[in-house]
Amino acid sequence: MSIKPLVILPDSKLRLISEPIKEVTGEIRRLADDMLETMYDAPGVGLAAIQIGMPVRMVTMDVSKSEEERQPLVLINPEITWVSEEKRVYEEGCLSIPEYYEEVERPDRVRFRFMNLKGETIEQDADGLLATCVQHEIDHLNGVLFIDYLSKLKRDRVMTKFKKAAKREAGA
């Protein structure tokens, strides 16, 4: 297991559409371990494989409270199969858009299907933070970022800020 460097906005990799995983192999299990270690180290509650530069449809999550025992989830080829009409607003952040948080409205409840590390297909319902996290991370697999739900003005400000930071870093 190793901590991987995060892909940071404005890197165009974040806009890639990730490829489905055909089978759970030792390589996929190692990637899941690396993603969990990277996510916990960051620290974050979710991480899509593309955020460490791997364009495959895998997500790791753990929405347990910091004082609780860890409850890691690995979702392979996740897809949302149902969303509630009721909406909820959560303040979201993203490991690929560090230190930027904004309120985003999403469906309050979702049902999603995924394959686990044993290759089993599972369907699960989620609400609250888990529902938000599932939607946020699946968006990553489709090249969508949480800032895409913001007004054009806010989104443009964020992009400008991160483009300037990337230029400064490249020049450093």
Residues marked active site are found at 137
**Interatomic CA distance for residues 123 and 128, integer angstroms:** 17
Going by the DSSP 8-state scheme, the letter that residue 53 receives in this structure is T
Residue the block writes with tokens 């409270």: 65
What is the CB neighbour count within 10 angstroms for residue 53? 14
Phi, psi angles (nearest 5°) of residue 143: 75, 20
CB 136 within 8 A of CB 146: yes
